[in-house]
Amino acid sequence: MDNKKLQKLRKEYTLKKLNEDDVKEFPIDQFNLWFDEAVNANVLEPNAMSLSTSTFNGKPSSRMILLKKVTDEGFTFFTNYESRKSKNIIQNPYGALLFYWPELERQIRIEGVIEKISARESDNYFAIRPKGSKLGAWASPQSSEIPNRRYLDALKSDYKEEFEDKYIERPENWGGFILKPTLFEFWQGRYNRLHDRIEYYYFENRWNIKRLAP
């Protein structure tokens, strides 16, 4: 690593600006507006987001996952219920999401409380997944140590044979969570690192808006 070159890496952000008067009244509407713009700009996997969780004593971890549903209630994603992230959520339900769309020089931070969704909702989503993804949910002991890649491939082959002529049901240890937001921050890159940051925070049963210094 050449640290001198690293320290000289710079990018000026000049595409857009973000003012308090221009944002929507409700943060989910502002999110949907920016998400649609990301899709229309052909951003690579615009629904990719970083999920940060932590243990009961605050030790954090982050990973990239995919957003699968947005409603006024919150943001839904799916995973193995025995994974590290799921164990973190059980210990400490507070979490954070981060969307970053460099093509638009934008990011969105979302903080909130994470809960399991209903088994029926998880069943409905699992039913529309590709067959390979369904088999993968059965085969992967997510976050557990495995001896090698061959072991994983063998498990998937075994389940493929088991479900050859059968309907693939959702495994009980796989399903969805929803993050119910209490805070949003919309970040628009600007020149000289003087970025625009607009925060929505939920207080006294309403969403409030304020500008943050970059």
Catalytic residues: 193
Q: State the DSSP string of 31-76.
A: HHHHHHHHHHTT-SSTTEEEEEEE-TT--EEEEEEE--EE-SS-EE
In angstroms, the CA 139 to CA 137 distance is: 6
**133, two tokens:** 């993804």
First to last CA, the chain: 28
Residue with tokens 């990239």: 64
In angstroms, the CA 16 to CA 9 distance is: 21
In angstroms, the CA 105 to CA 16 distance is: 8
